[in-house]
Structure 1
Amino acid sequence: MPDFITLTGARENNLKNVDLRIPKGRLTVFTGVSGSGKSSLVFDTIAVESQRQLNETYPSFVRNRLPRFERPHIESLTDLSPAVVVDQRPVGGHARSTVGTMTDIQAVLRVLFSRYGTPSAGPATAYSFNDPSGMCPECDGLGRTVRPDWDRILDPARSLAGGAVRFPPFAAGTWHGQTYTNTTRLDVHKPVGAFTAEERAFLLRGRGARVRVGNTGGSRDIDYEGLADRFERLYLKRDLSALSRRTRDLVREFLTDDVCPVCRGARLNAAALATRVCGLSLADCARMQVTDLIAVLRRIDDPVAAPVARAAVDGLERIEAIGLGYLSLDRETATLSGGEGQRLKTVRHLGSSLSGLTYVFDEPSAGLHPRDVGRLGELLLRLRDRGNTVLVVEHDPDLIALADHVVDMGPGAGAGGGHVVFEGTPGALAASGTLTGRCLRRRATVKRRVRRATGGLWVKGASLHNLREVTVEFPTGVLTAVTGVAGSGKSTLTGELTAAHPDAVIVDQSAIAVSGRSTPATHLGVMDAVRRLFARSTGTSPALFSFNSAGACGGCEGRGVIVTDLAFMDPVTTVCPDCAGRRFQDEVLRLTVRGASIADVLDMGPEQALDFFGDLDVPEDAVLRPLRALRDVGLTHLALGRPLSTLSGGERQRIKLATRLHRTGAVYVLDEPTTGLHLADVGALLALLDRLVDAGNTVVVVEHHLDVVRHADWVIDLGPGGGRDGGEVIFEGTPRQMLTVQGSATAEHLRRTTV
């Protein structure tokens, strides 16, 4: 069996003809600044090619139903093994997806209740909230009832013609709204509140009539559909996550969401809820914290039930071992953070007896307190010791130290990266002259002189989730770090802060909206002003300078590439031959400002763009300030026209921060802003946060990174544990004062890593 995965001539994204040999059966960590090429090498090259070749082993009928992967840009990649990718993409799932269903522990508990519980409701499916035989008939197993809020949707004092329908997509004048303003079956000038029961029933549920509606293409007759029926069809009987975020937010304003009055959130029907094991229903077990449920199931010694209970305990103990013992099985997966979701994906693989695989992890320490990083490292080593190859993209020094082999990418980011600058052991990396090596040798100290608060923002009596009547003051005019182990209540507490002070600027971990056409320039709102500048300078239309409009290349429709779908074969992406990847028509590219075409501008980084626009007549707020913000968050390597879909997680989060900079007197609340950042990038982030505070702002960061804690002016530490064992403020003070605190996991690790 070959001992290495061998790459030759890797050129994906910014990789510069990389040649590399990766040892098999070892834990290899890939390091380097954001944008240096780590993900391009590990995920876009190794993982993609492994999955692509594995799919080729299936018959064409099966391949046609599998995800299709394009062959990465590489000369050769040999001695691959099947890859299992554990990334940070949100586990998502609909409202029926929970921690219990994701980890399959819920299925084990259903078997336990069907065989051991009394009184029995029947087979295991009778205990499933996803099966008609087990789900609550009122809420269909969702635990909540979501209904239209008709008091908000309809104004009883107005007529249909006068704007009685307040839901914008159905309002008078819209295409949908014409169904109700043009019907001949109702008096559209009569106040809706004066409708008879029969008239209201027709408005909401009517069928069988025809109504004429018009649009730009003329008018036509369509079948009448009641207002309630149409609302439910378009917005309730489909997955809202498929809609745009703007539409989802709009719809939610017109819904009432309550706990199901029949099952009271348990999701199951009466027969399933009546069954007891150890005096508990299945819903009681699902609501319990994982650590508590383990203790309950361990007490089962019945010869029939014990093996099933043991299987459930094994799965629960894996969740506890990975630092998520504070979760409950009924927790919806859509509410999990990226780090929590990734660790739960890892749990699923830990129960596997397969070996000889390649496991690929994307920054598995994201969202982890230093206390839990050691646990994660043990799990990665367990995967390796089963005969697997483990590849990890990571910045955390503790995980880097565990590696058998390290590959450092760089030396910079973007066009300045894409090279392997170091290969070897963690010790040799720390002694090397690379940027990562220098950062690993750096000695850390706490801030000696802290800023004085200018006032305070209070949160009083907070009791949401696991918070225990917390009252705390967030000092203004300083940098405050909110710390604590995962599940201790940090995000909940800062959420209470933003609820009490709604003007706060929130930079959280939610994804930014991206498409194949989204770029830093469009996301920051720079392009409108740039198009107007080009139009004014060349005497043409602004639409010509948009690759989404009149100026788009006809060959690729402004995408710069052509994707050819070859049925069950891999799709092929080629640079558009008409525009050579520049997205615009030739006649548009001939229109220039100072010798630069619109495509040339999109190829510029923020520093180049600032020099280009510096003395041109462009709006300060619309162009220059966003470009400075992009530079200030450390994204100097990023081309303005680069697709956002190709950015790393760290790059995307800093773009989000860039859109919210340069506000004075504001309160900034940031949720783990160091996620995805190299040690060197953390220093740049801290410099940026200092500038925000020095400009008169208040900055609150939820963080695990100890460099941020050491640099803060004030620390609020929650704990002492997670879930039920957290929810209390166990320390308030300066980082130097925190060094002497006992009983705090954050203080303990701060002492270990501070000189």
Structure 2
Amino acid sequence: MNDLLLRLRDKGNTVLVVEHKPEVVAIADHVVDLGPGAGTAGGTVCFEGTVAGLRASGTLTGRHLDDRAALKKTVREPTGALEIRGATTHNLRNVDVDIPLGVLTVVTGVAGSGKSSLVHGSIPAREGVVSVDQAPIRGSAAQQPGDVHRSAGAHPQGVRQGQRREAGAVQRELRGRRPSCNGAGVVYTDLAMMAGVATTCEECEGKRFDASVLEYHLGGRDISEVLAMPVTEAEEFFGGGEARTPAAHRILRNMADVGLGYLTLGQPLTTLSGGERQRLKLATHMAEKGGVYVLDEPTTGLHLADVEQLLGLLDRLVDAGKSVIVIEHHQAVMAHADWIIDLGPGAGHDGGRVVFEGTPADLVAARSTVTAEHLAEYVAREAHTSLQCASSHSSSTAKSASVRPYR
């Protein structure tokens, strides 16, 4: 892919790439880094210039550009195995493989090698298997990431004794939408051949609900104020005090764990990127009680700084007694795995076979597959970076010890 991008540029084209992967950033002639954070904490250009300048810039991207995950020194022992026998879905060639349970297993291989066919097409659908695939989340502008307003409506504050029956009507109304804007807070105007225009709803003034609904409060906030909260703030809000709602708090904690803490509860699903939608789907499924979690490329759309957070989340799932099976290309996830199943050796009719099973360390040592070669290079860069940092620190320490401060 990098070679293709460079060839396009060399033919006189201007190539603009939106990307997180450091391998792609490294070949750029010019880098524009946005931030400094996400959501309301972002939206500004933090840096523009060369890749070398980005590394020295001190921005979040610059600080994490050379991040590399190390191979695990010890791996978990499996508690059992999920047997797949004679798998022939799509290009699979009568595959027999045992997927270990109770550990973090990564299924990898080149694109088209048969990873999804093996995992989604061959793992038996049964109770306790939670599958998060790449199917998009369908949603309208009125649907939001955090539908915790239903929990809020269940405990309206300040309702007098004589208004108990009215409270039930409020709950029903909270579940509905403002008719004038269908609960979106904005009215969309179709301009035919031109781009549509969204304007703030004049009747609700963007608050989405009738004035009668906004009279009721939870923890001192009305429903429009709750929906305006980012996930991190809402997690604290529903975690204690008058607004304590364990079910809502649990879902919000999951959203924060997958790196969506900056989203507002009332943000329309249509404004989310593909990566954000996939992580929202993951957070939703984490609330389910399953013994086996199957994830399809959870690093999609993740910034370098968020990958470590995802690895911590996967570890917590396994440490809680779950079995986690991840289809993934990201080397950091491969390096962090307890067990790797590598498919290939190529794509399409050249793939469909298991070319390696074992620990990441054994894969790197064998260097017998395309994945092994690239993971070995990745690990070598991590070791080189660590050595440089240690050398720089040692040199700095020695220099400071030999130079007396001027008085």
User: What's the TM-score bracket when you normalise by the shorter of the two chains?
Assistant: 0.7 to 0.9
Contact preservation (8 Å) 2:251, 2:287: no
Contact preservation (8 Å) 1:478, 1:699: yes
1:615 to 241, 252, 255: 241
State the alpha-carbon separation in 2 of the partners of residues 550 and 463 from structure 1: 47
The alpha-carbon distance between structure 1 residues 536 and 732, as it changes in their structure 2 partners (threshold 3 A), is farther
Quote how far apart the aligned CAs of 1:495 are.
Answer: 2.0
1:531 to 144, 153, 169: 153
State the alpha-carbon separation in 1 of the partners of residues 37 and 168 from structure 2: 36
The alpha-carbon distance between structure 1 residues 446 and 581, as it changes in their structure 2 partners (threshold 3 A), is same
Which secondary structure state, in structure 1, belongs to the residue aligned with residue 366 of structure 2? coil
State the alpha-carbon separation in 2 of the partners of residues 732 and 569 from structure 1: 54
Contact preservation (8 Å) 2:150, 2:171: no
2:145 to 514, 517, 520: 520
The alpha-carbon distance between structure 1 residues 521 and 542, as it changes in their structure 2 partners (threshold 3 A), is farther
**Higher mean C-alpha displacement, 534-543 vs 396-405:** 534-543
After TM superposition, list the pairs within 5 Å mapping 1:676-715 onto structure 2. 676-715=301-340
2:359 counterpart of 1:737: no
CA RMSD of aligned residues (A): 2.3
1:635 to 252, 260, 265: 260
The alpha-carbon distance between structure 1 residues 588 and 405, as it changes in their structure 2 partners (threshold 3 A), is same
**Higher mean C-alpha displacement, 640-649 vs 533-542:** 533-542
State the alpha-carbon separation in 2 of the partners of residues 550 and 443 from structure 1: 47
The alpha-carbon distance between structure 1 residues 672 and 550, as it changes in their structure 2 partners (threshold 3 A), is closer
Contact preservation (8 Å) 1:505, 1:668: yes
Q: Deviations over 1:5-33 (max 9, x none)?
A: xxxxxxxxxxxxxxxxxxxxxxxxxxxxx
Contact preservation (8 Å) 2:110, 2:371: yes
State the alpha-carbon separation in 1 of the partners of residues 63 and 169 from structure 2: 49
Gaps of 5+ in 2: 384-407
The alpha-carbon distance between structure 1 residues 599 and 727, as it changes in their structure 2 partners (threshold 3 A), is same
Q: 1:462 — aligned with what?
A: 87
Contact preservation (8 Å) 2:219, 2:243: no
The alpha-carbon distance between structure 1 residues 566 and 631, as it changes in their structure 2 partners (threshold 3 A), is closer
2:131 to 498, 502, 506: 506
2:206 counterpart of 1:584: no
Which secondary structure state, in structure 2, belongs to the residue aligned with residue 391 of structure 1? coil
Quote how far apart the aligned CAs of 1:548 are.
Answer: 7.5
Q: 1:492 — aligned with what?
A: 117
1:752 to 377, 381, 384: 377
Contact preservation (8 Å) 1:533, 1:618: no
The alpha-carbon distance between structure 1 residues 562 and 665, as it changes in their structure 2 partners (threshold 3 A), is closer
Q: 1:395 — aligned with what?
A: 20
Contact preservation (8 Å) 2:317, 2:324: yes
Q: What amino acid is aligned across from residue 572 of structure 1 in structure 2?
A: V
Q: What amino acid is aligned across from residue 706 of structure 1 in structure 2?
A: Q
The alpha-carbon distance between structure 1 residues 417 and 542, as it changes in their structure 2 partners (threshold 3 A), is farther
**How many aligned positions are there?**
375
Which secondary structure state, in structure 2, belongs to the residue aligned with residue 472 of structure 1? strand
2:94 counterpart of 1:472: no
Q: Name the structure, 1 or 2, with higher relative contact order (CA <8 Å, separation 6+).
A: 2
State the alpha-carbon separation in 2 of the partners of residues 599 and 546 from structure 1: 16
After TM superposition, list the pairs within 5 Å mapping 1:553-572 onto structure 2. 555-566=180-191, 568-572=193-197
Quote how far apart the aligned CAs of 1:400 are.
Answer: 0.9
State the alpha-carbon separation in 1 of the partners of residues 177 and 138 from structure 2: 24
Quote how far apart the aligned CAs of 1:473 are.
Answer: 1.0
Q: What amino acid is aligned across from residue 532 of structure 1 in structure 2?
A: A
Q: What amino acid is aligned across from residue 201 of structure 2 in structure 1?
A: C
Q: Deviations over 1:42-89 (max 9, x none)?
A: xxxxxxxxxxxxxxxxxxxxxxxxxxxxxxxxxxxxxxxxxxxxxxxx
Quote how far apart the aligned CAs of 1:665 are.
Answer: 5.9
Which secondary structure state, in structure 2, belongs to the residue aligned with residue 690 of structure 1? helix
Quote how far apart the aligned CAs of 1:431 are.
Answer: 2.7
Quote how far apart the aligned CAs of 1:674 are.
Answer: 0.7
State the alpha-carbon separation in 2 of the partners of residues 717 and 457 from structure 1: 16
State the alpha-carbon separation in 2 of the partners of residues 436 and 662 from structure 1: 31
State the alpha-carbon separation in 1 of the partners of residues 200 and 138 from structure 2: 25
Q: What amino acid is aligned across from residue 671 of structure 1 in structure 2?
A: D
State the alpha-carbon separation in 2 of the partners of residues 545 and 580 from structure 1: 21
The alpha-carbon distance between structure 1 residues 589 and 380, as it changes in their structure 2 partners (threshold 3 A), is same
2:38 to 413, 425, 434: 413
Quote how far apart the aligned CAs of 1:550 are.
Answer: 6.2
Q: 2:400 — aligned with what?
A: none
Which secondary structure state, in structure 2, belongs to the residue aligned with residue 499 of structure 1? coil
Which secondary structure state, in structure 2, belongs to the residue aligned with residue 520 of structure 1? coil
Contact preservation (8 Å) 1:720, 1:743: no
Quote how far apart the aligned CAs of 1:391 are.
Answer: 1.2
Contact preservation (8 Å) 1:672, 1:704: yes
Identical counterparts, % of pairs = 53
Quote how far apart the aligned CAs of 1:557 are.
Answer: 3.9
State the alpha-carbon separation in 2 of the partners of residues 567 and 476 from structure 1: 54
Contact preservation (8 Å) 1:498, 1:504: no
The alpha-carbon distance between structure 1 residues 604 and 385, as it changes in their structure 2 partners (threshold 3 A), is same
State the alpha-carbon separation in 1 of the partners of residues 173 and 11 from structure 2: 51
Q: Which has the larger radius of gyration?
A: 1
Q: What amino acid is aligned across from residue 150 of structure 2 in structure 1?
A: D
The alpha-carbon distance between structure 1 residues 516 and 663, as it changes in their structure 2 partners (threshold 3 A), is closer
The two structures have a TM-score, normalised by structure 2, of: 0.85
